[in-house]
Structure 1
Amino acid sequence: MRKMMISGVTVLALLTGGIVGFGGLGSSVEAAQATTKFKDVPATHWASSAINSAVEQGYFKGYADGTFKPSSPVTKAEMASILGRLSDQPNASTQEQNNFTDIPEWAKSGVSIAIAKGFISPSNYKGKLDAQGALQRGEMATWLTQGLTVVDPEYKQALSDVTNTVVPAKEYFTGKLASAQKNAVAVALGTGLMSVANDKTFGVDRTTTRAEVAVLIARYAAVAKTKPADFQGLNELRAVGLTGTNLSIIAPKYQKTPKNKFFDSYDYSKVTDQFSQVRNKELVTVTSYADVKLKNWIIINPYITGSKRSIYYPVFVDEKDTLLRGSYYSFAEFDLNIKNSMTQLQAGSLLQSPSINALKSPNSESFSKYSVPHINDFLGSKGLFQVKNPTYWSMGLLHFDTELTTQVKLITKEGIDFNVTSN
């Protein structure tokens, strides 16, 4: 990202270690040297490199006592002013006016520029930004992903595509991720712009620290230069949002079962490989203990590492977990309507599929840490369901070995036949 001169900052901000003016440091070399002297930012600090870069580029400076205060929160006015200085960020095609009434004088210009660059939308507020309040991570995700939509319209489409996705954050599974922030959090996670903490929460209500902002500046610059389609995680989130499954991304060998695998008399026109056509539809069951719907279907290849690994891997699978004969993990979100009573074993007889089976949920540590709904949450003594409408995630196996059952077959009560096989 190109360095640019900074304006509109008062002496007060300079002295308090806020956003710096262009006269704060004499050169890039001096800036880098200055950061190495921060008493509270040793070379081993997780954000030391990013802090060095942020100070070098003039986004921050240290305090008079020789500290940087990496854990101190950043206010909305400060962050808006920083975002307004991103020189590679274009202006939004549609301009909104800065009608906020609570912006301090030193930040008015920066906030107006951040609005012009598309990071902040005044129409989402009621005349006040709460400019002196600490910026929380959920709002940060909203600002940054809105900025991405200005850089590349495909990011705007991505924000729409993830509306119904499964978000790999604890708040999603516990129902504490507000719909107003869900899409932004999903895109922030899918691009690697932001991540979950050790407790598996995104932390929408946690304040954003100076160290985090230093890191986010660098990450945003990298993401903004990358096409949305180049992020596998984002592709998965979009696919699940639009279709209910990431099958085509993780297991593209699974395709529509060929016509020659059916009897000549079978109406092949009803066969589909589009999971969206059976998603949230009542399915034909083998037994009649409950009405069954599938909300989502997640596939995970456990044999790969790095950027090609599913974004959902950390949610469902532990590092130590392995499978045999090339099978993939298959996780389905069941929505059941139990007619009278039903046991866990009877749930396993509803579809009788090795890939999509309501019998059990994962027992991984990851699954527990993310607080994903488990079948045990709804079972009482003797494995009897205690609620009539349980929604939980199950675990199965997606086979590729032709000696095993590779076909996945789901038929809706309207007659649509989702039918895919490993080819």
Structure 2
Amino acid sequence: MLHKKSSNKNLMIKALAASVMTAAVVIPVATENVEAAPVTKTTFKDVTKSHWAYESIKQVAEKGLVTGYEDGTYKPSAQVTRAEFATFLARVFESNERATVSFYDISDTHWANEAIQEGLALGFIKLGDFSKNKFEPNKAMTRGEMSRWLANGLAHANADYGKAIEEMANSNLTLIPIPEFYKGGVNKKDLPYIGVALGTGLLSGYEDFTFKPNGNTTRAEAATILIRFMDTLKKVPSDFVGLQELREVANTGTNILTLTNYEKSRFNDTSFWYKTTEKSAKEKNMSVEEYVKMLWGEAYKLPVTGEEVGGFEDVLGKPYTLNNKRAVNMIERAIFVDTRGSQAKGIYKDMFFMDVTNPNMPGERLNENYYSVYYEYTTTPSQNTTLASMYNGSVLGQIGDRTVNLVKAEQFGITTPLTKYESYYREVEKGVFKKITNDFFTKDKTVRYWAVQTVGKVFEGSIRGMTDDGSRYHYEIIE
């Protein structure tokens, strides 16, 4: 049950807020019995101007969000606890709303109780995330848990952030660009929150691109995150291209419309098509609808001038037989990276793209005015075959012609066919090389994998395909 505090308690909150604006308050981290002592400093003896988080720490101290200790220290390397982070976020929102939830390890007089109850009332803390009625206030916050609180805080401020969380939580197409997505080490329930944190730039990965959802956060890092969080609160989800890419993938299996200048193709004047099709149908004593379904499948849509032909979302998971009959294939996702300029762009760039500067090496390069598209497929070969043979048998280019860079595949746990089309030898251990064989695609063995294709105006300029049931996708570059 949520309620407004009494007038007496309101006066107490206002007095407390005033004290925060005029003097910093120590947050005791060891026990609720420690008395808070005022600290007037906004700079600290253990945070010099050369410290990487100096400016952020100074800002949050000036705003009264994060405070120091009686001895004049900030303890920038100390881990942030649940009680502390609840207090930090509560100070950002400054709400009078309170829940009336009792945790057996949080008394009414606990120094962080007011902040925790505010967090529960506003929804950035969820009661369902805690078991056995334990809050564990002195437990260090994990990065996964921090992602949850931050994303829920954004959702409180703007319902569209909440919708983004729901879209990624409820879709089997969601793809979060962290190694833990395929390799494991992340609670799947945390993925949509991590997606919001990554998509808005609140949190980022490490040098090896891992997110470390079970890792902890220091007080110095928390200061930087809080500054970003306050800036993000002023924005809407559509301000973040990365978040829009993640949402489009969750909803349609692709980020093509968010990241590229492709648009869905529309039917032009269809009068000639109907004239010739009606004639052919009449010769077979069939209606137009019967005739086109016989030719192209039950899902084939009769063209209507001005309507969209179709998109990736219309064909995902639907089989199409290659023209050379070597396999039945299905597209599961189509992820784009903008490689047209001097730097790769897109939230998935670090997951898939590796710049290959040596012109004698097969791979992806920049400044060549095309996009790299990474397709995830499910394929059932009808005979032992290779990626190159399947590509040659796809008239519409529905098979990527190259494997994902092997370094990226290993970093992110991406399955890609090990064929000599990528590299004839692969380094297994230092100084030891293993010959790559073409045994990935074997008869009647269904495999799921990623492959790469390059698209753009320097090629045909359109992306199109059709499944066995007549479903279609068709995109064109719009200037």
TM bucket, shorter chain:
0.7 to 0.9
Paired residue for 2:312?
A: 275
C-alpha distance in 2 between matches for 1:140 and 1:189? 12
SS in 2 for 1:165: coil
Shift of 1:363: 2.0
Aligned-residue Cα RMSD (Å) equals 3.4
Paired letter, 1:391: R
Shift of 1:324: 6.3
SS in 1 for 2:209: coil
Select which of 62, 78, 86 maps to 1:80: 86
* 2:284 counterpart of 1:247: no
- Between 1:371-380 and 1:327-336, the stretch displaced more is 371-380
**Structure 1 residues 175 and 338 mapped into 2: Cα distance closer, same or farther (>3 Å)?**
farther
Select which of 123, 127, 134 maps to 2:128: 123
Paired residue for 1:285?
A: 322
Shift of 1:214: 0.8
**Structure 1 residues 378 and 168 mapped into 2: Cα distance closer, same or farther (>3 Å)?**
farther
Preserved CA contact (<8 Å) 2:321 2:327:
no
Paired letter, 2:249: V
Shift of 1:228: 0.7
Select which of 412, 418, 423 maps to 2:467: 412
SS in 2 for 1:203: coil
Paired residue for 1:109?
A: 114
Paired residue for 1:369?
A: 411
Shift of 1:309: 3.1
* 2:335 counterpart of 1:298: yes
Paired letter, 1:25: V
Preserved CA contact (<8 Å) 2:176 2:246:
yes
Can you list the C-alpha shifts for 1:150-189, whole angstroms capped at 9, x where unaligned? Answer: 1011111111222332111111132443221111011111
C-alpha distance in 2 between matches for 1:72 and 1:121? 25
Preserved CA contact (<8 Å) 1:90 1:151:
no
Which segments of 5 or more consecutive residues in structure 1 lack a partner in the other structure? none
SS in 1 for 2:464: strand
C-alpha distance in 1 between matches for 2:105 and 2:160? 33
Shift of 1:65: 5.7
Can you list the C-alpha shifts for 1:223-249, whole angstroms capped at 9, x where unaligned? Answer: 111011111111111111101111112
SS in 2 for 1:143: helix
* 2:345 counterpart of 1:309: yes
C-alpha distance in 2 between matches for 1:170 and 1:150? 29
Higher CA-based Rg: 2
C-alpha distance in 2 between matches for 1:155 and 1:109? 25
Preserved CA contact (<8 Å) 1:6 1:85:
no
**Structure 1 residues 350 and 136 mapped into 2: Cα distance closer, same or farther (>3 Å)?**
farther
1:313-324 equivalent positions in 2, closer than 5 A:
313-318=349-354, 322-323=365-366
Preserved CA contact (<8 Å) 2:180 2:210:
yes
1:89-100 equivalent positions in 2, closer than 5 A:
97-100=100-103
Which segments of 5 or more consecutive residues in structure 2 lack a partner in the other structure? 1-15, 278-291, 293-299, 358-363, 422-434
Preserved CA contact (<8 Å) 1:102 1:129:
yes
Paired residue for 1:24?
A: 38
- Between 1:213-222 and 1:50-59, the stretch displaced more is 50-59
* 2:145 counterpart of 1:139: yes
Paired residue for 2:287?
A: none
Length-normalised TM-score, structure 1:
0.83
Can you list the C-alpha shifts for 1:72-125, whole angstroms capped at 9, x where unaligned? Answer: 21111111122121136685xxx7542322226222122111212221011332
Paired residue for 1:333?
A: 376
Percent of matched pairs sharing the same residue: 25
Shift of 1:140: 0.6
C-alpha distance in 2 between matches for 1:245 and 1:168? 13
Can you list the C-alpha shifts for 1:226-273, whole angstroms capped at 9, x where unaligned? Answer: 011111111111111101111112223343154469955376626733
**Structure 1 residues 15 and 115 mapped into 2: Cα distance closer, same or farther (>3 Å)?**
closer
Length-normalised TM-score, structure 2:
0.74
C-alpha distance in 2 between matches for 1:42 and 1:191? 29
